[in-house]
Amino acid sequence: MKQHTICRLNDIIPDTGVCALIEGKQIAIFRTKKNDLFALDNYDPFSQANVLSRGLIGGTMIVNETGTDEEVLYVASPIYKQRFNLATGQCLDDGNVTLAAYHVALNNDTVMLQSF
């Protein structure tokens, strides 16, 4: 698999996202307050705009497949506010919509994304 260098960790303010153009596709990369990193498609299918990197990061509790409560981090679209699970890309407000999620990692202080 191919690795892409995105930026330094400190280039992403905690609880925000940045957009990277990888092989012609816009990818939103998010950093939490705990320095966890996530990557999703930047394209919001509801507003049909590449805006998710500008969304707000939040958390909520959902009931998972086993029937237990699970805390989920999400990004809320800045346009219509649909929430997307940062780990899976699943829309929390419409179960029929899922964004592609990508593996993102930290190598020393460099944010890296695996090719898709």
Query: pLDDT tens for residues 9-25?
Result: 999 999 999 999 999 99
pLDDT class of 63 with cuts at 50, 70, 90: confident
Better pLDDT: 63 or 50: 50
3-class secondary-structure state, position 10: helix
Please give the order of strands across the beta sheet that includes 101-102. 16-22, 25-31, 37-41, 101-102
Contact yes or no for 3/115 (Cβ under 8 A): yes
| Nearest CA among 6, 20, 4, 3 for reference residue 111 | 6
DSSP structure class, residue 55: S
Mean pLDDT value across the chain: 95
Q: Tell me the per-residue pLDDT of 95-116, one tens digit each, with 9 for 90 and over.
A: 999 999 999 999 999 999 987 6
3-class secondary-structure state, position 57: strand
pLDDT at position 41 over 70: yes
pLDDT of residue 25: 95
